[in-house]
Homo-oligomer: A and B are copies of this chain.
Amino acid sequence: MAFEALHALLGTRFTTGASERALHGRSEAHFADMPPDAVAYPETTAEVAQIMRICADQRIPVIGWGAGTSLEGHALAPHGGVTVDFARMNRVLDIAAEDMLAIVQPGVTREALNTELRATGLFFPVDPGANASLGGMASTRASGTTAVRYGTMRANTLALEVVLADGRTIRTGARAPKSSTGYDLTGLFVGAEGTLGLITELTLRLQGQPEAVSAAICAFDDMHSAVEAVINTIQSGLAMARIEFVDAANIRSFNAHAQAGLAEKPHLLVEFHGSPSGVREQAQAFGQIVADAGGGAFQWADTAEDRARLWKMRHNAYYAAIAQHPGAHPITTDICVPISRLAEAVEETARDIAASGIPGPILGHVGDGNFHALLLPDRNDPDQIARAQDLASAMAERALRLGGTVSGEHGIGMGKRKYMQAEHGAAWDVMGALKSALDPQNILNPGKLLRAQ
Report which A residues bind B (CB closer than 8 A): 96, 98-101, 140-143, 147, 151-152, 154-155, 164, 168-172, 174-185, 187-188, 190-192, 196, 207-208, 231, 235-237, 274-275, 277-278, 281, 336-340, 368-370, 399, 403-412, 416, 419-420, 423-428, 430-431, 433-434, 436-438, 449
Besides A170-B427, A178-B370, 20 more A-B contacts (Cβ < 8 Å) are A98-B231, A98-B235, A99-B340, A100-B339, A143-B178, A170-B430, A175-B404, A176-B336, A176-B403, A176-B404, A177-B369, A178-B405, A180-B191, A180-B407, A181-B419, A184-B184, A185-B431, A187-B188, A207-B237, A278-B281
Residues of B within 8 A of A184 (CB): 141, 154, 184, 187-188, 190-191
Q: Which of B140, B231, B403, B425 contacts A180 (CB 8 A)?
A: B140
Residues on B with C-beta less than 8 A from A147 are 178
Copies of the polypeptide in the assembly: 2
Selected A-B contacts with CB under 8 Å, 28 pairs: A98-B231, A99-B338, A142-B180, A143-B178, A152-B178, A154-B184, A154-B187, A155-B155, A164-B430, A168-B426, A175-B337, A176-B404, A177-B336, A177-B370, A178-B409, A179-B408, A180-B412, A181-B406, A181-B423, A181-B424, A183-B434, A184-B184, A184-B188, A185-B427, A188-B188, A277-B277, A278-B278, A278-B281
Q: How far is the CB of A441 from chain B (nearest CB, A)?
A: 14
Q: Give bound CA distance, A340 to B147, whole Å.
A: 27
In-complex Cβ contact of A338 among B96, B142, B412, B434 (8 A): B96
Are A181 and B143 touching (Cβ within 8 A)?
no
Contact of B192 with A408 in the complex, beta carbons under 8 Å: no
Residues of B within 8 A of A340 (CB): 96, 98-99
A171, A181, A337 interface centre (most CB from chain B within 10 Å): A181
Cβ A339 vs Cβ B407 within 8 A: no
- Identify A436's interface contact among B151, B339, B437, CB under 8 A: B437
Chain B minimum-CB-distance residue to A209: B237
Q: Is the CB of B416 within 8 A of A171?
A: no
Chain B residues with CB under 8 Å of A438's CB are 430, 433-434
